[in-house]
Structure 1
């Protein structure tokens, strides 16, 4: 590895990296090393980040906790530096290294083409639910939701956004409370109180079963069968709120508020108390003296595990594996391979216990491959040391669907534990920064490009198809008018979603630039329009549709435009 890019020597002179011998690719192209990144080295890499790159607090916290707890796994996902020495991927891991004050071992890819940035981290996000599903745990979504909600309840963070607790924390809670969790999930799904959402019913069942099994059953029975109880029974009163919320969105409580209300009502069910009403308001930044989130009396919380000998041994083994990979080039072999459909089929035979294949994701990548737009981006297909396919099933499936080969990095010899570390953070949005450095609404133009692709370019017979990052970039390049219409959309934010407004305006002007401009001007200002004019009716209708989906808003505008174009009703 070149010493001019990054100093990877320890204080005592011991080497902390080795250049991996990569077969199948000229040495002057991408270079790969296994390195140990220390907190002192991370800032020099962060200094190479793109100006638009942002710290993701949730990702950094999760990575830092894994590093501090000795749970970091060498999984093959590289820190990526471009040919121009720009950090393309690895930002959150580097911040986490600094926060954790702990070194970590990783793959470092250098000299990767800069124009591959938009292809990095476009895979589907891997969820904790997906991990539980691959283990064969019944009702994995309910189990993951229970763990997340109760951990956040105990931490006092239920009212602070929707972040998910670190997976390691949920793993420990699941291990320590597995029997009780299984019991609560079965109890929740067997009970007929389906009017109460499962995301509330299941964690509440867990809490109630720990405190008073009779009371939680009575509470849910009252929701399911109100005719068996008096009108002031807490469960009956909660049911009344649920029924009212179904018919009137204005009185429907937020999910967090409903959880709080149910805890209050369950407390009364346990104590035998009666209340006139159950309310709790979700606090906002402007709320003065907000009501604390209620606590279930007698609930002691999820048990946490003290690390078992087996876990200590696993963590020690992972450390030894990482250290061995630093020293021995045979531990984690990397090759650059041409993956033909035949090879892809062979590799997929080793795909055991993985997530379900998402066909729309496969189809999107297959289009890139078929259109000659696949780009080598240094993110590997990964196998464990026993041969199991850990990561890459969608790319391999896309090769089969496209019927054409691609070139990728393949890494072998990784620990089995790496499987659950992939794709834990949200995928990156399509990158347009380097295309339009002077453009201020990159997210808006990307969202509008996605709408255009879905409405005009989506393959026939693929209703769930999604554009790839390359396809989004192509749309933006081919339709620069989208960027010029952001001002109109921002002025019309009261009437609809900005991306819907940009696309609708683009369609109007594309149909008839002169008459279309009159239509858009009047839509914005309502100036000099007679009573009952189609544009005035459209403005009123859009107010009613402010919370509707983008396509509904677009269709409404285009329908009014068609009427206006046929009969303007005003001088044009």
Structure 2
């Protein structure tokens, strides 16, 4: 691509704004990035997130533009352009030129739309909890069992996961029901484990989370009573417990129930591997 094609022609010291929809190829992106002389530090995770959506065909042109100043300097869009190169695919983009350089100060100033926001716009109920469960299920399936957040799903990846596994909506609903009875476990963790356990034994999962919620008719030493006591104790002591540890508590409890054994205490060291549900 000729870099002059994104530079406006001066007109008495000024230039008119132009806007056009262009199929940006990796080679064109490389040429545009040569004009990236004044921008914020590149966030590699954002590039990787965008690139996955582009490579999977989930990238939609939403009106956000690649923006250039009057002198041709790239003002906004470096992450998207780097993602085009990483994905090695062509993407339709809106290109705007002829902007005053000072307008860069106001770009990306708004709050970024979250997955929960996107799901709410689609009419999903309990969208914030549903979004949290989708993120954790996606990360679990990627092998990130402790939710280290080195790689999180994009909005598109979450919506694709929901389309593939609509039963996760039920897991979000169950998480809300359990929370209304027993407020000592994070809803996102309850919903995530509900989905994972349902893959193993849907019938036993129903019984398991009913008892997690009400604790009814369980004998002394039952794993679910041990879980409930541990969760209440940590809340009373005002301890900060990361989500992965609550995940481990629930999985250890589930495994003990499946094995038909008592569980006197639940321990999960920070450096211990995550137990796998069975």
Instruction: Compute the TM-score of the two structures, normalised by the length of structure 1.
Output: 0.40
Q: 1:452 to 1:545 in 2, by over 3 A?
A: farther
Q: 1:458 to 1:567 in 2, by over 3 A?
A: closer
Q: CA deviation at 1:417?
A: 0.6
Candidates 180, 185, 197, aligned match of 1:508: 197
Distance 2:212 2:163 in 1: 28
- The reply on whether 1:527 has 2:210 as its aligned counterpart is no
* 1:203-246 deviation line (CA, Å, top 9, x unaligned): xxxxxxxxxxxxxxxxxxxxxxxxxxxxxxxxxxxxxxxxxxxx
Q: 1:496 to 1:393 in 2, by over 3 A?
A: same
2:81 corresponds in structure 1 to: 396
Distance 1:425 1:478 in 2: 31
Q: 1:498 to 1:426 in 2, by over 3 A?
A: same
Q: CA deviation at 1:504?
A: 1.2
Distance 1:382 1:544 in 2: 54
Aligned 8 A contact 1:444 1:498 in 2: yes
2:102 corresponds in structure 1 to: 417
Distance 1:488 1:377 in 2: 34
Q: 1:470 to 1:516 in 2, by over 3 A?
A: same
1:484 corresponds in structure 2 to: 170
Distance 1:540 1:423 in 2: 46
Candidates 456, 460, 468, aligned match of 2:154: 468
Candidates 373, 381, 397, aligned match of 2:66: 381
Q: CA deviation at 1:395?
A: 0.1
Distance 2:94 2:66 in 1: 6
Distance 1:483 1:364 in 2: 24
Give the 5 Å matches for 1:284-299. none
Give the 5 Å matches for 1:181-192. none
- The reply on whether 1:497 has 2:186 as its aligned counterpart is yes
Q: Secondary structure at the match of 2:226?
A: helix
Q: 1:350 to 1:458 in 2, by over 3 A?
A: farther
Q: CA deviation at 1:528?
A: 1.8
Aligned 8 A contact 1:454 1:466 in 2: yes
Q: CA deviation at 1:422?
A: 1.1
Q: RMSD of aligned C-alpha atoms?
A: 2.3
1:552 corresponds in structure 2 to: 245
Once structures 1 and 2 are overlaid, which stretch shifts more, 503-512 or 386-395?
503-512
Q: Secondary structure at the match of 1:485?
A: helix
Candidates 26, 30, 33, aligned match of 1:341: 26
Candidates 349, 361, 369, aligned match of 2:54: 369
Give the 5 Å matches for 1:200-239. none
Q: CA deviation at 1:358?
A: 1.1
Q: 1:458 to 1:528 in 2, by over 3 A?
A: closer
Give the 5 Å matches for 1:21-100. none
Distance 2:174 2:141 in 1: 22
Q: 1:545 to 1:341 in 2, by over 3 A?
A: farther
Q: 1:544 to 1:420 in 2, by over 3 A?
A: farther
Aligned 8 A contact 1:458 1:465 in 2: no
Distance 2:232 2:140 in 1: 23
Q: How many matched pairs?
A: 239
Q: 1:422 to 1:492 in 2, by over 3 A?
A: same
Candidates 114, 119, 140, aligned match of 1:432: 119
Q: 1:544 to 1:482 in 2, by over 3 A?
A: farther
Aligned 8 A contact 1:361 1:465 in 2: no
Distance 2:247 2:60 in 1: 34
Q: 1:568 to 1:519 in 2, by over 3 A?
A: farther
Aligned 8 A contact 2:38 2:75 in 1: no
> Is there any run of 5+ residues in structure 1 with no aligned partner, and where?
1-320, 325-329
